[in-house]
């Protein structure tokens, strides 16, 4: 079972079969969203009254310390830390754009991309910090 943590406070974000995030839509409304811990599974659960549109940039925050999870690689990507069953650490970047399926599991030596939109964030668009992984 993979564990997920906030890169700022190192608090655990996984509860049972979900990763919990605080989110904010473009109208500055906040809510909670539950995502699958399986890389490449883009199912989510949120309260039906909390709305955001396809293509909308939804800001992700740690529900424990309220730190922004926006990565410094690209404004559309969020960052969390992941530890696998063997205790190996990874940086996991995922799209904050509603409906965009792109996730990157980075261990320093390699990058595993998942999602039909993963090609949107190639090393040409991501920047110098990420290029070393390609």
User: In this predicted structure, what is the pLDDT of residue 134?
Assistant: 42
In SS3 terms, the chain reads as CCEEECCCCCCECEECCEEEEEEECCCCCEEEEEECCCCCCCCEEECCCCCCCCCCECEEECCCCCCECECCCCCCEEEEEEECCCCCEEEEEEECECCCCCEEEECCCCEEEECCCHHHCCHHHHCHHHHCCC
pLDDT digit string, tens, across residues 59-71: 999 999 999 999 9
Q: What is the pTM of this model?
A: 0.88
The domain limits of the chain are 3-131
Residue 33: predicted pLDDT: 97
Average pLDDT over residues 13-27: 97
């Amino acid at each position: 079972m993979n564990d997920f943590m906030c890169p700022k406070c190192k608090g655990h974000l996984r509860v049972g079969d979900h990763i919990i995030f605080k989110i904010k839509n473009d109208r500055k409304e906040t809510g909670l969203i539950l995502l699958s811990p399986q890389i490449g599974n883009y199912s989510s659960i949120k309260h039906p009254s909390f709305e955001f549109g396809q293509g909308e940039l939804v800001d992700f925050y740690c529900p424990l310390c309220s730190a922004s999870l926006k990565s410094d690689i690209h404004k559309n990507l969020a960052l969390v830390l992941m530890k696998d069953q063997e205790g190996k650490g990874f940086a996991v970047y995922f799209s904050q754009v509603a409906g965009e399926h792109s996730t990157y599991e980075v261990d320093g030596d390699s990058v595993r991309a998942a999602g039909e939109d993963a090609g949107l964030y190639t090393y040409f668009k991501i920047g110098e910090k990420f290029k070393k992984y390609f």
